Amino acid sequence: MVLFNVSRIQTTPFDGQKPGTSGLRKKVKVFVQPHYLENFVQASFNALTEAKVRGATLVVSGDGRYYSEQAIQIITKMAAANGVRRIWVGLNGLLSTPAVSAVIRERVGVDGSKATGAFILTASHNPGGPNEDFGIKYNMENGGPAPEGITNKIYEYTTTIKEYLIAPDLPNVDISTVGVSNFTGPEGPFDVEVFDSASDYIKLMKSIFDFESIRKLLSSPKFTFCYDALHGVAGAYAKRIFVDELGAQESSLLNCVPKEDFGGGHPDPNLTYAKELVARMGLGKSEPQGEPPEFGAAADGDADRNMILGKRFFVTPSDSVAIIAANAVQAIPYFSAGLKGVARSMPTSAALDVVAKHLNLKFFEVPTGWKFFGNLMDAGLCSVCGEESFGTGSDHIREKDGIWAVLAWLSILAYKNKDNQDKLVTVEDIVRQHWATYGRHYYTRYDYENVDAVAAKELMAHLVKLQSSLSEVNKIVKGASSDVSNVVHGDEFEYKDSVDGSVSSHQGIRYLFEDGSRLIFRLSGTGSEGATIRLYIEQYEKDPSKIGRLSHEALAPLVAAALKLSKMEEFTGRSAPTVIT
Ligand code: G6P
Ligand code: ZN
């Protein structure tokens, strides 16, 4: 039994430790400053209060990005000093964000213990490495991100912090070997358990999906498959699930070795950053070598996001959640008794709304940020939900789930192909059939990254001010293009949580058109430098003869209107967005 002591270390507050949409994300250079991480962790313990910290079992792991290992050792020493009873660490410090959620909800420790929270070490889809981003966020006992009530308290504590507790002589834990290490501090025992990162998650996936039917699909000579982990933590699950459990070829895995700098790439699964996959699927600038696979998917750094592709075909995340919802009951055993309800974030297209209406399902529109779905799920009101930002998931956990989304799509494909017809029903067939039934929501998002923060605020203020005169708005819109309908409503989205009554204001500026089109402007809550302006553009088309247009052509008039309304170039100096998805 190793004995350790507790030290109280004097410290002073750092500016700007306010958690964003998904925790605190900063450059590694900021995090490595003496006391920086420690202040945030102590503020988190203070905010959670002793009742939730003393004797607790906490998970500490993440996407394996640069600085994770050091952070795990620091947090472990601080947890020991703050009276935490045990720490659980995924092997090599790796746990995807959805796996953390699953571990909190499902895992039972070797001594029968259950976890009540987690520090997740990730900056999600932001690049990693010594010059890039690190991040930390706290998840609660339901497996979901801490609500604003807690994150605001954490922030308050960071502004007044004077000392933190740490066990400096607690030895570093070997996180590269499964096993339990036991220690004793002034208040009794403290354990660290290192466990296999994938097995709890795989068990959960097997209880949701029919692995046998997916295995059959993957073994069909008509079906070809490709999965790109972008060197994120999804790689720690991909081989075990897709190859070992479901029989996919190893050659169908791209970039599936987790790396602390994501191989120098930007681990965000979209058409811009998942270049290799996009090229392989026949969606790149040049023709691919050989026939593209029938199905392709990618994940972000912490494996909660997903991108779904068919052969030469992109499925928008907004369509993806709508299609999953429309097919869930038939194709996924977990949902066979029916869906409790569905939900999307405000900027996500209304494709899901149409499905909800057809199937007579409860429907919710929430602000951006997965935590808003958690309350609905805890109250039994929502089974499937999704966001335009490549997040899709269900109430099996309280995070979005990149691999779950892939398994959901494979299940739908398996279901549509169950009669083993000569011709494969493809991803594209499924999407086009969906549009024919429900209509199509043309959709695109323009991101202006790392814009001057003051300019971004001014642009947003200008857009809010404009809303006081719709006639002025319509003059500008019509000046940009005669091809768009009238703006009939403008506001800033405000959400009242139907479960706990909390109100979230200023959740994005909306311009709503007579024909159902929408323009939405939001400032990103996940960046680590400057400001990122997001512009979401959507147009609904019910006429079956008009659902096959190229998205950027169909949306061109609305794009012109949006750029003119916002004076985008004038405020930001940018003549084009950084990323279009
Ligand atoms: C994270 C959250 C998502 C949210 C996204 C928004 O990924 O988990 O729920 O949609 O951030 O990011 P943004 O940069 O648009 O604030
Ligand atoms: Zn993520």
What span, in angstroms and rounded, lies between the C-alpha atoms of 527 and 516?
30
294 with 410, same domain? yes
Exposure string of 535-552, with b = 16+ CB inside 10 Å and e = fewer, is bbbbbbbeeeeebeeebe
Q: Which two tokens stand for residue 37?
A: 């991480």
Which residues have any ligand 1 atom within 6 Å of their CB? Answer: 21-22, 124, 345, 368-370, 387, 389, 391, 524-526, 534
Pair 314, 393 in one domain: yes
User: What amino acid occupies position 529?
Assistant: E
**Is the CB of residue 376 less than 8 Å from the CB of residue 384?**
no
Last residue of a domain, one of 438, 473, 507: 438
Torsion angles phi and psi, residue 145, rounded to 5: -55, 150
DSSP string, 481-518: -TTS--EEEEEE--EE-TTT--EE----EEEEETTS-E
Residue 473 and residue 385 share a domain? no
pLDDT > 90? residue 286: no
Pocket test for ligand 1, best of 270, 526, 535 (most atoms within 8 A of CB): 526
Least distant ligand from the CA of 303: 2
Predicted local confidence at residue 1, as pLDDT:
67
pLDDT of residue 266: 94
- Clarify whether residues 168 and 40 are in a common domain: yes
Amino acid residing at 126 = N
Length of the chain: 581
Tokens of 396: 């099996």
Count of structural domains within the chain: 3
**Closest C-alpha to 223, from 420, 407, 403:** 420
C-alpha 302 – ligand 2 centre gap (Å): 5
Centre of ligand 1 to C-alpha 250, Å, is 31
Domain's final residue, options 162, 197, 232? 197
For the chain, the average pLDDT equals 95
Q: What are phi and psi of 200, to 5 degrees?
A: -65, -40
Q: What is the pLDDT of residues 137-164, one digit of tens each?
A: 999 999 999 988 899 999 999 999 999 9
Mean of pLDDT values over 527-539: 88
Q: Which of 101, 124, 389, 517 is catalytic?
A: 124
537 pLDDT more than 80: yes
The mean pLDDT of 2-12, rounded to a whole number, is: 94
Whether residues 207 and 81 fall in one domain: no
What's the mean pLDDT in 391-416?
A: 98
Domain of 297, in residue numbers? 201-438
Contact 383, 341 (CB under 8 A): yes
Question: Which numbered ligand comes closest to the C-alpha of 125?
Answer: 2
Residues 379 and 455 in one domain: no
pLDDT in tens, 399-408: 999 999 999 9
157-212 confidence digits (pLDDT tens): 999 999 999 999 999 999 999 999 999 999 899 999 999 999 999 999 999 999 99
Instruction: Give me the pLDDT at residue 527, please.
Output: 67
Residues 181 and 253 placed together within one structural domain of the fold: no
Question: Looking at ligand 1, which atom is closest to the CA of residue 525?
Answer: 16
- CA distances for 556 relative to 482, 537, 549, angstroms: 12, 10, 12
Ligand 1 atom closest to the Cα of residue 532 is 14
What is the average pLDDT across 69-97?
98
Q: 438, 468, 495: which is the final residue of a domain? A: 438
Global pTM value = 0.94
Atom of ligand 1 nearest to the CA of 522: 15
pLDDT tier at 220, thresholds 50, 70, 90: very high
The domain that contains 395 carries what CATH number? 3.40.120.10
Q: Which of 38-47, 327-336, 448-457, 478-487 has the lowest mean pLDDT?
A: 478-487
Confidence of residue 2 (pLDDT cuts 50, 70, 90): confident
Q: For the residues 214-229, what does the mean pLDDT come to?
A: 96
pLDDT at 307 over 70: yes
Q: Report pLDDT for 502.
A: 87
561 touches 473 (CB < 8 A): no
Model confidence over 451-485: pLDDT tens digits?
999 999 999 999 999 999 999 989 998 888 888 89
Residue 268 CA neighbour count, 13 Å, CB half? 17
In whole angstroms, what is the distance from residue 221 CA to residue 550 CA? 31
**Whether the predicted pLDDT of 282 surpasses 90:** yes
124 is catalytic: yes
- Residue 310, pLDDT > 70, answer yes
Mutate which of 22, 495, 520 for ligand 1 pocket (most atoms within 8 A of beta carbon):
22
CA 307, 309, 311 angle in degrees (round to 5)?
A: 165
Same domain, 21 and 131: yes
Same domain (yes/no): 475, 421: no
Distance 257 CA to ligand 1 centre (A): 25
> Could you tell me where the DSSP H helices lie in 220-316?
235-238, 275-280
3-state DSSP call for residue 577?
A: coil
Q: How far is the CA of 48 from the centre of ligand 2 (A)?
A: 24
**Are 348 and 371 members of one domain?**
yes
Residues 21 and 111 in one domain: yes
φ and ψ at residue 182, rounded to 5 degrees:
-110, 140
Which ligand 1 atom is at minimum distance from the Cα of 368? Answer: 10
- Are 205 and 304 members of one domain? yes
pLDDT for 422? 87
